[in-house]
Amino acid sequence: MRANINLFWIIAIFFFLSDAIYTIFGVMYYGHPEWVGTVAIGLTGVFGVFIAFYLGRTLSAQGGTLPEDRPDANIEDGDAEQGHFSPWSWWPIMLAGSASICFLGVAAGFWISSIGMALGAVSLVGWVYEYYRGNFGH
């Protein structure tokens, strides 16, 4: 995690320097700063600071060193439970399809979004309760 923290600090510094250069060249060319780019590049640097600060605080709150940060660690040391995933489940694909129908409705016509929301509700309920029915029911 230390590598990630350092990387985000470097990214933040890069974007702050880029923002200063962008502002200087905007003033030289137009006579005033170009505000959209100046604010966008500056906020990208601020977001880098936010992420670096959050990761730093998370690392200090853990109270220990992660296996990724130790040079003597083995691959098995970082092998923890990542969650429970169903490789045979079709519900995530149905949920992604219904989300794409919802976004299509935003672009083409709002009535299509209602169909996507209905399919999304069915898909979400199916995904949540897939272990309560069928072969894998408890």
Question: Average of pLDDT values for 85-111?
Answer: 91
In a domain, 79, yes or no: no
The pTM (predicted TM-score) of the whole model is 0.57
63 shares a domain with 15: yes
The pLDDT-based confidence of 138 (bands split at 50, 70, 90) is low
Domain region containing 10: 2-69
Considering the domain architecture, whether residues 22 and 61 belong to the same structural domain is answered as yes
Would you say residue 123 lies in a domain?
Answer: yes
Based on the domain organization, do 9 and 50 belong to the same domain? yes
User: Could you identify the residue written with the tokens 């505000």?
Assistant: 35
Amino acid 70: pLDDT: 82
- Count structural domains, the chain: 2
- Integer CA distances (angstroms), 92 to 19, 60, 99, 103, 125, in order: 41, 35, 10, 17, 11
My answer on whether 99 and 45 are in the same domain is no
60 and 112 part of one domain: no
